[in-house]
């Protein structure tokens, strides 16, 4: 069994990318120092640890930095393989499949969803949201295939895709409060809707997920800032 070592995590509580790393650490039963960051006033430690992207999360393990949330989650699973549940499958094909769908979430769901909030026109926002919902429907099929009729993408247990997609759920709930729209609609994506309810009840999720009301406040302030910036550019 690998020793715990000295672990530090540079993060931001409302970031889903930080949430997924914290969830993996929690699942493995690892203790760590959580160092909150202000992305509008970046610390010297963050700039030194991630000089290329200057973004969170950053995991510092015995003085060595590991970057990118999905990479960090996989690193945690590999280094502390004997601790807690496995996040990645043992079978090479299933492992490759999990990595594909985890990347799909970030590339095909997260990117257009974020752009749907930041679009300059209602038409542009609508187009990005349409792409987001197409990705959701695709993930409904992926869940059907990967779960093999069980509760999670990882089958009986939470796996990499569950952690990556599940880290977005506070955003999903906040968006529902703000707009009334359901991303995982029981009528259209019943498997994902049921999966979301199961994931929300996980101890690891409850331990690290930010409060929905706090997320609503954050997204409201962010939307106002984007609106003000857009107005100033038009002047």
Do 35 and 136 lie in one domain? The reply is: no
- Residues 106 and 23 grouped into a single domain: no
Instruction: Indicate if the pLDDT at residue 226 is higher than 90.
Output: no
Structure token digits, residue 6? 């000295």
Q: Which of 47, 79, 111 is the last residue of a domain?
A: 79
Task: Identify the band that residue 3 occupies on the pLDDT scale cut at 50, 70 and 90.
Answer: confident
Q: What integer pLDDT is reported at residue 222 of this predicted model?
A: 67
pTM, two decimals, is 0.91
Domain count, the chain: 2
**d(C-alpha 222, C-alpha 219), whole Å:** 5
Tell me: cis bond preceding 57? Omega within 30 of 0 counts: yes
Tell me which residue range forms the domain holding 98. 92-214
Lowest mean pLDDT among 2-6, 83-87, 165-169: 2-6
Q: What is the pLDDT of residue 118?
A: 82
Are 111 and 141 within one domain?
yes
Q: How would DSSP label each residue in 7-69? A: EEEEE-TT-HHHHHHHHHHHHTT---EEEE--TTS--HHHHHH-TTT--S-EEEETTEEEESH
């Amino acid at each position: 069994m690998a020793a715990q070592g000295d672990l530090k995590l540079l993060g931001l509580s409302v970031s889903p990318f930080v949430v997924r790393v914290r969830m993996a650490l929690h699942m493995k039963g690892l203790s760590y120092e959580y160092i909150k960051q202000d992305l509008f006033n970046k610390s010297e430690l963050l700039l030194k640890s991630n000089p290329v992207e200057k973004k969170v999360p950053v995991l510092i393990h015995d003085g060595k930095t590991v970057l990118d949330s999905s990479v960090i989650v996989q690193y945690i699973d590999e280094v502390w393989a004997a601790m807690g549940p496995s996040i990645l499958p043992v079978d090479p094909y299933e492992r490759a499949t999990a990595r594909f769908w985890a990347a799909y979430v970030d590339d095909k769901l997260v990117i257009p969803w974020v752009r749907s909030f930041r679009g300059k026109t209602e038409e542009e926002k609508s187009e990005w949201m349409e792409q987001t919902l197409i990705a959701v429907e695709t993930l409904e099929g992926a869940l059907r295939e990967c779960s093999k009729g069980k509760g999670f993408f990882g089958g009986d247990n939470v796996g990499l895709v569950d952690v990556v997609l599940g880290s977005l759920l506070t955003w999903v709930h906040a968006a529902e409060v703000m707009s009334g729209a359901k991303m995982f609609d029981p009528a259209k994506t019943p498997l994902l809707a049921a999966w979301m309810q199961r994931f929300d009840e996980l101890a690891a999720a409850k331990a690290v997920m930010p409060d929905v009301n706090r997320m609503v406040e954050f997204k409201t302030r962010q939307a106002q800032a984007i609106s003000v910036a857009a107005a100033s550019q038009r002047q």
